[in-house]
Amino acid sequence: MISRKFFVAAAGLIVGLGLSVIPAASAEQVYLEQAISEANEAIQAGNAQEPASLIEHIDQSYDRARSAVWQNPTDHIRQGIKLLRKASKVAKGTNSPTRITKAVGFVESAKSHFEAAR
């Protein structure tokens, strides 16, 4: 026979595990949506030829994407993170319109990967 204490403990564990999964899934979506939003801001800043704002939004998008990949490790999010790193390296320390445009291209590709991971 199963004791009453064991049954209550097992039921509590099942309920606790079930509740802990729900916030993790929603947090992953929140981080991913924030990464996409910051990528949009970076694209707008890059198109306006504002390198400081571009880099700031790239870094914010990168941070949000890293948080999202901890919750849901998919290849699309990982690839987007790699592209954001490339964009950051290309854009830092320059005012060159060519390099800024190249960085914006990387950010657009990263954004498409993040949208595919939804």
1 has pLDDT over 70: no
60 has pLDDT over 80: yes
pTM of the model: 0.77
DSSP assignments along 45-104, one per residue: HHHTT-HHHHHHHHHHHHHHHHHHHHHS--HHHHHHHHHHHHHHHHHTT---HHHHHHHH
Confidence of residue 29 (pLDDT cuts 50, 70, 90): confident
